Amino acid sequence: MLAEALNFAATYALSDRRHGSEINSSVRLWARARRCASDWAPHEENTRAFILDAAKDLRQRRTAVVLGSGLLRDLPINTLAATFDTVVLVDLVHLASVRFGLALARRRNVRLIERDLSGYDQLAAGEEPEPLAFLRQVPYLDLVVSANLLSQIGRGVKRRLATEPAGSMPEDALSRLIRAHIDGLAQLPCRTCLITDITFSVIDRTGHLHETADLLHGVSAPEPKARWQWPVAPLGEESRDYRIVHEVIAV
């Protein structure tokens, strides 16, 4: 608990004060990742391997952008930093633990940007959401990775919609913002890589499925090149009797 409190306090001091709840969520994720390290290891390795495979035959390696860089556990950050001129990590918050790790590794060609990637504010203003339009201003862009971010956008948007007055947002806001992210990646003039969890399942000790949910809220994902299971909450993490497993696809 002390480590979590210190990470929160240090991150809060370095971040936009409006993002206190997001910092708290990121710190909780950081703590869970440490507790579940062995269970999460295959998912993290699959993610890193897919990103490296997406980048291996690029003719130029000038700038790589990672959307949803998170804890960096599932990113081949050392290889990206060693092979690209510049690596840009974009997320709503960057934990102090992440900043410290990068500073310790002296990754001077890694840049951090704090940015809301949901497109929510554009849609709320009556505009067509283009959450990835800012990437058009990034020079010499050769690779863009969306790393286990899309379902998190959905969760964040769902929470925000719950606080809005009835009728203030379009009824299809959630699906439109998820679709805007997928379309935005498809429209970029460079190599792109989408890795996202698409379903949530609650399974008991006997393997019986008790609940499942669509994390993309009805939006069809592109045809994947790979898929795997991510035990987000193994037995004992949230319950002694149930585990939570996400299905992940990579495009």
- The answer to whether residue 17 scores a pLDDT higher than 60 is no
Strand partners, 31: none
Q: What is the mean pLDDT of the chain?
A: 91
Q: How confident is the model at residue 139 (pLDDT cuts 50, 70, 90)?
A: confident
DSSP 54-99: HHTT-S--SEEEEES-TTSTTS-HHHHHHHSSEEEEEES---HHHH
pTM exceeds cut of 0.85: yes
- How high is the pLDDT of residue 181? 97
Residues in the chain: 251
CB 125 within 8 A of CB 153: no
CA distance readout (Å), 154 to 49, 128, 161, 177, 178: 25, 17, 10, 8, 7
Give the separation between CA 165 and CA 230, rounded to whole angstroms: 35
Q: Residue 62 belongs to a domain with what CATH number?
A: 3.40.50
Residue 5 has pLDDT above 80, yes or no: no
User: Is 220 or 20 the better-scoring residue by pLDDT?
Assistant: 220
Summarize the confidence of residues 87-114 as an average pLDDT.
91
Model pLDDT for residues 140-153, shown as the tens digit of each residue: 999 999 999 999 99
* Average pLDDT of span 27-44: 90
pLDDT of residue 104: 87
C-alpha–C-alpha distance, residues 204 and 99, integer Å: 38
List all residues 6 or more positions away from 234 whose beta carbon is below 8 Å from its beta carbon: 36, 39, 243
> Rounded to the nearest 5 degrees, what angle is found at the Cα of 128, between the Cα atoms of 131 and 198?
55
Q: How many domains does the chain have?
A: 1
Is the pLDDT at 114 greater than 80? The verdict is: yes
H/E stretch holding 108 = none
Which domain covers residue 69, as residue numbers? 2-250
Given a cut of 60, whether residue 109 has pLDDT beyond it is yes
Share above pLDDT 70 across residues of the chain, in percent, rounded to a whole number: 96
Q: How confident is the model at residue 24 (pLDDT cuts 50, 70, 90)?
A: confident
Helix (H) or strand (E) holding 247: strand 242-250
209: three-class secondary structure by DSSP: strand
Task: Please report the pLDDT score of residue 242 as a whole number.
Answer: 94
Q: What SS3 class is residue 194?
A: strand
**Number of separate helices (H) and strands (E) present in the chain:** 8, 8
First to last CA, the chain: 37
Question: What integer pLDDT is reported at residue 107 of this predicted model?
Answer: 87
In this structure, the number of other CB atoms found within 10 A of the CB of residue 149 comes to 24
Inter-helix orientation angle 20-35/2-14, to 10°: 140
**What is the rounded average pLDDT of the residues 50-57?**
96
